[in-house]
Structure 1
Amino acid sequence: MGDPEEDVRIERRGRAAWIRLNRPERRNAFDGAMARSVVAAIEDCADSGVIVLTGEGRSFCAGGYLARMEDPDPREVRAMYEGSLDLVDAVRTSPRPVIAAVNGAAAGGGNELVVACDLAIASSRATFGQTGPRVGSAPVLGGTNVMSVQIGEKRAKELSFLCRRYTAAEALDMGLVNAVADPDELEAVVEEWAAELLALSPRYLEIAKISSNLWWNSARDSFRSGIGMLAQAVGSADMLEGARAFMEKRPPRFEPPFTGPREH
């Protein structure tokens, strides 16, 4: 179990609240407990005017974390999946605009966290991409559905299927982020965007935000069914091979879906 005080740090900067994912030793990947800590932080910061999500160290977020990927505990995995859904939901249902200050790598569920945020500003050294099919998983919390609304279906499938890495400039070009800043200027640029938001009506910003959730709400059933399918696949051959390959830093060797003649 993570320590909430260690998992997340909150800094109040006037009417802006900065929530910093604070597990740099694992690239700010979150388990179920850490996801709950971030959700609580987002809820606690609803009295601010703007919320900023960022990461400690050189990474933004590497997505879901499992201590024993090669021998997963189904309960631990389910808790991480459920925590992931609660986390992206908290971002979207917060009455405040949420800005992702992407200071480094946003991978897997970390990339989906960027998708969930209302606005995203990236350091020029940040990278983006999904990891699911490469490591024995699938991006069901935005990567296969809402991201297609943001950047187009073909590009979203490119990210979700091929698991490539993209630079901040490429992310800006495809519409995954709103702006790119030099690493040393990232926080200053985010503060400028936050100041613009803080000059506006919080009441009508909330109305605009909740109204903008049309596509997110439409995809909500897909999130839930996707988590159910992932939970049923815990311990599958593909999940274990993906985890082993990741741990051993080698390409995965997945078996084809049908290894013998099919019955008719």
Structure 2
Amino acid sequence: MSSLMHLLRLGLLAFSCLFWAAGLAILTLGVWAQISLADYMLLSANRYPNAPLILLATGAAVTAWGFLGCLGVVANLPAVLKAYGFFQLAALVAGLAAGLSGLFYREDIAGGFRSGLQRAVGGYAEDEGRADALDGLQRALACCGAEGWRDWLTSDWNGTSAALPDSCCARRKGCKNRPLPSDAAEGVEAAGIHPHGCFGKVFSLVNDNVFHIAATVLGLAFAQVGGIAMTFPLKGYGVARYRELFQVPRFPRNMSGLAFGGPPG
């Protein structure tokens, strides 16, 4: 029995270390999302303002509980192991919900970016923050407009002229303030304009990344089953060892038959 418990302790310790490392990875992802993706969030018609903060909070919680799990295993603390087991159960439910939501709502997320990009192009002159985010996206992904550069022809920013923002230019020389080209692809490339719209690139980026993130979250969620299966037997074994070492008496569950005035007659 003791050898089995020893193997369980080693297994749970390894799992807790991986759980702690996963928390650090989620925390790092949250910091990156908060710094790098905050502007891009402005371009979605579906508002996800707290998504990076949720990643930060989740990463911090998983990191803290992973450390407590390691502490509970090493120091053989039954109360900590019990709390750790219930946290893993909550992480299992939350991970399944988050992972399945990410898989089922990928197209909804991408559709929100389509509507948001169209709105950002149409109201380019009205919202400076969204305009800066759109310029950054067009430069980063080498794209122009939502579906293509012709989206700018109907933008309020154009007025009576027909021009494109500098962020649509693949090269500045010969692109800025020149007449817009024909629909032919060679004319667009000759003008130095990014030939592709931003939505197609954003859709591929979001679709691929959300799928991988959701699959990873689901994998971590199912991994909690192994952690739970190891935690609660160790918790029970730890309680038994505590009673044995410190000679804590085990009281009967039903105390109604005991008399406090003396021994029973």
TM-score by length of 1: 0.25
Q: Using CA pairs below 8 Å that are at least 6 residues apart, which structure has the higher relative contact order?
A: 2
TM-score by length of 2: 0.25
- Give the structure with the higher percent helix: 2
- Give the structure with the higher percent strand: 1
